[in-house]
């Protein structure tokens, strides 16, 4: 059985458990480990949630940034933490991509159980203003005539923008050249300068569109983003492309069902907070909620999507 499917089945128990038995948690400070650097969207999301959870619980919630090695350092740390709910992992896309793309991970993917899906961010196809044609049809025509196809940047090999570009090229049946950078900042600089043709990136780059630095072609989301209603979806333009990142909370495997259910229920409560929603909206992310079971099923789907992409010939080498 695929490990993400197993996560979903294990989560079903926690989702169905009555909450009466969960009142004892937490009795001391809780640590939320973020395997990314401070200041990014994942970190901002985790800190916003941690502040509200701390107020609800009457206990400090400490956000601990343990970045490095493509999130492996922080993820490994939580995999070895006591399974008592007091050390949690607030992570995103790399959690499902690393087991598919990296060899010899220093932790077992089954060392975790899902707690809650918290948010999503879908990728926008951005293009440089130096291109004459900026519609999807014009881009596809250019890709078929240009040497090497379109040049599409990303924030790094195996990143969500990189996978978005691979999915796009595969579905459109066009050649493209991947140009990886060390982070979103350098890739955006070269996009605005016209060094590369385009890039997939999240709504955090929408400000660049608003300022006229780059142009937006389409968003890889099921529906238009409420903060950018003028950007059409790929589906509207005839391509069934949905791609982006997600944000969620996981606990070490073996964490008691009652504790997982309690954290999930309290997380649902704080995500209704108007102030928190306003803070998250500024980052371009969309808040969502789920049961542990539904989050486990979602992780399985994300893993399967990437697995199929690789089987169909995508070359994504990050080792």
Rounded to whole angstroms, the Cα distance separating 250 from 118 reads: 11
- How far is 219 from 239, CA to CA, in rounded Å? 11
Cα 80 to Cα 65, 87, 112, 189, 258: the distances in Å are: 16, 10, 10, 39, 20
pLDDT higher than 70, residue 22: no
Write out the residue limits of the CATH 3.40.190.150 domain(s) in the chain. Answer: 3-121+245-311
Query: pLDDT, tens digit, for every residue of 29-58?
Result: 999 999 998 988 899 999 999 999 999 999
Q: What is the DSSP letter of 117?
A: E
* Residues 248-268: b if buried by 16+ CB within 10 A, e if exposed: bbbbbbebbbbbbbbbbebbe
pLDDT tens-digit series, residues 134-185 = 999 999 999 999 999 999 999 888 888 999 999 999 999 999 999 998 888 8
What is the rounded distance in angstroms from the CA atom of residue 136 to the CA atom of residue 216? 10
- Report the pLDDT averaged over residues 300-305: 92
Percent of the chain with pLDDT over 70: 92
Q: In what order do the strands lie in the sheet with 30-34?
A: 61-65, 30-34, 87-91, 244-252, 112-122, 286-287
pLDDT value, residue 8: 55
Label the pairing between strands 244-252 and 87-91: antiparallel
Fold of 3-121+245-311: D-Maltodextrin-Binding Protein; domain 2 (3.40.190)
**pLDDT at res. 16:** 46
Nearby residues of 73 by Cβ (< 8 Å), 6 or more positions away:
35, 66, 67
pLDDT at 11: 52
Residue 257 — very low, low, confident or very high, per pLDDT cuts 50/70/90? very high
Give the pLDDT confidence of 199-229 residue by residue, as tens digits: 999 998 999 999 999 999 999 999 999 999 9
Predicted pLDDT of residue 20? 43
pTM of the model: 0.84
**Is the confidence at residue 130, as pLDDT, over 50?**
yes
Quick one: pLDDT at residue 70? 85
Query: Where is average pLDDT lowest: 154-158, 248-252, 262-266?
Result: 154-158
Query: Average pLDDT of 258-281?
Result: 95
How much is the pLDDT for 1?
47
Asked whether the predicted pLDDT for residue 2 surpasses 60, the reply is: no
Residue range(s) occupied by CATH 3.40.190.10 in the chain: 124-219
pLDDT-based confidence at residue 18 (cuts at 50, 70, 90): very low
Q: 124-219 adopts what CATH topology?
A: D-Maltodextrin-Binding Protein; domain 2 (3.40.190)
pLDDT for residue 5 is more than 70: no
Helices (H), the chain: 3-16, 41-57, 72-79, 94-101, 136-145, 160-172, 184-193, 206-210, 257-270, 274-281, 292-311
pLDDT of residue 103: 86
**Helix axis angle, 41-57 relative to 274-281, nearest 10°?**
170
Average pLDDT, the chain: 90
Q: What's the pLDDT score for residue 24?
A: 83
> What count of other Cβ atoms lies within 10 Å of the Cβ of residue 55?
12
**Span 106-113, mean pLDDT?**
92
Q: How far is CA 90 from the centre of its chain?
A: 11
Task: Determine what percent of the chain is predicted with pLDDT higher than 90.
Answer: 76
Q: pLDDT class for 15, splitting at 50, 70, 90?
A: very low
Could you check whether the bond before residue 26 is cis, i.e. omega within 30 degrees of 0?
Answer: yes
């Amino acid at each position: 059985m695929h490990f993400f499917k197993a996560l979903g089945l294990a989560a079903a128990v926690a989702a169905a458990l009555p909450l009466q038995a969960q009142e004892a948690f937490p009795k001391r400070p809780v640590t939320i480990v973020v395997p990314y650097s401070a200041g990014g969207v994942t970190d901002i999301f985790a800190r916003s949630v941690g502040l509200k959870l701390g107020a609800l619980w009457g206990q400090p919630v400490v956000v601990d940034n343990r970045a490095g090695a493509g999130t492996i350092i922080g993820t490994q740390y939580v995999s070895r933490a006591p399974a008592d709910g007091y050390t949690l992992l607030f992570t995103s896309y790399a959690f499902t991509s690393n087991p598919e793309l990296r060899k010899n991970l220093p932790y077992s993917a089954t060392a975790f159980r899902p707690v809650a899906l918290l948010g999503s961010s879908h990728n926008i196809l951005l293009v440089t203003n130096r291109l004459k044609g900026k519609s999807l049809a014009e881009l596809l025509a250019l890709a078929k005539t240009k040497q090497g196809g379109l040049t599409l940047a990303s924030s790094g090999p195996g990143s969500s923008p990189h996978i978005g570009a691979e999915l796009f090229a595969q579905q459109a049946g066009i050649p493209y050249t991947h140009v990886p950078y060390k982070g979103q900042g350098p890739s955006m600089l070269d996009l605005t300068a016209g060094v590369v043709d385009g890039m997939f990136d999240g709504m955090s780059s929408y400000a660049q569109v608003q300022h006229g630095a780059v142009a937006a072609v389409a968003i890889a989301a099921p529906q238009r983003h409420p903060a950018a209603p003028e950007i059409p979806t790929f589906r509207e333009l005839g391509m069934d492309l949905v791609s982006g990142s997600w944000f969620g909370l996981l606990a070490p495997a073996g964490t008691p069902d009652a504790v997982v259910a309690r954290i999930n229920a309290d997380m649902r409560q704080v995500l209704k907070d108007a102030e928190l929603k306003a803070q998250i909206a500024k980052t371009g992310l969309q808040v969502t909620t789920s049961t542990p079971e539904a989050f486990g099923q979602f992780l399985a789907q994300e893993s399967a999507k990437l697995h199929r992409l690789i089987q169909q010939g995508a070359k994504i080498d990050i080792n």
